[in-house]
Amino acid sequence: MKIRDFLFLLLLVPLLNQAQINNGILLDADTLSPSQDQVGGKASVSIIDQSKKGKGRDTLSREERREIRHTYRLQHPRSPWKASLMSGCLPGLGQIYNRKWWKVPIIWGGLGTLGYFAAVNHIDYINFRMHTRSG
């Protein structure tokens, strides 16, 4: 495969990754009030009780902070284009960018297995050719 064809495919893949865009839950950043989910039309749960709103960050429970982080991640989805380019540079880097850490060992394990069997088959092929020529 020519370098030009490889670069074309590398730039084409991010265009096909538009399925990774997550619409998520839309919340007003100032009030954190519930609004409608774009996909299912379900109302989201209010994150901060109005009585705790003015007291500061220290009064939020661990569960409320976790919910705020989760909502922030839904409001700021990752770019599929950037993830694809990162994966093109180093396999697994796009998964790290998308916060799917658990997939990286699977990717690298698969690449290592592929490399191992390619090397073993190449050595076996060379040995086979040497034995058939001398006989």
User: In the prediction, which pLDDT does 132 show?
Assistant: 86
Say how far apart CA 1 and CA 126 lie, in whole Å.
24
Report residue 21 as tokens. 């865009």
Indicate whether 23 belongs to any domain. no
* Structural domain count of the chain: 1
User: What confidence tens digit (pLDDT) does each residue in 82-134 have?
Assistant: 999 999 999 999 999 988 899 999 999 999 999 999 999 999 999 999 988 76
Residue 129 confidence (pLDDT): 92
Residue 38 lies in a domain: no
Residue 109 belongs to some domain of the structure: yes
Please check whether residue 73 lies inside any domain of the structure.
no
b/e map of 80-115 (b: 16 or more CB within 10 Å)?
A: beebbbbbbeeebbbbebbeeeeeeeeeeeeeeeee
Question: pLDDT tens digits, residue range 1-47?
Answer: 577 776 666 666 665 555 544 444 444 444 444 444 444 444 444 44
The answer to whether residue 130 is domain-embedded is yes
In a domain, 11, yes or no: no
Domain assignment present for residue 117? The answer is yes
Q: Is pLDDT larger for residue 55 or for residue 8?
A: 8
CA distances from 97 to 21, 64, 83 (A): 13, 25, 6
- Per residue in 60-92, pLDDT (tens digit) is 888 988 898 888 878 888 889 999 999 999 999
The confidence score (pLDDT) of residue 74 equals 81
Check residue 16 and give its pLDDT.
58
Residue pair 97/86 in contact by the 8 Å Cβ criterion: yes
Range of the domain at 128: 102-135
Residue 124 in any domain: the answer is: yes
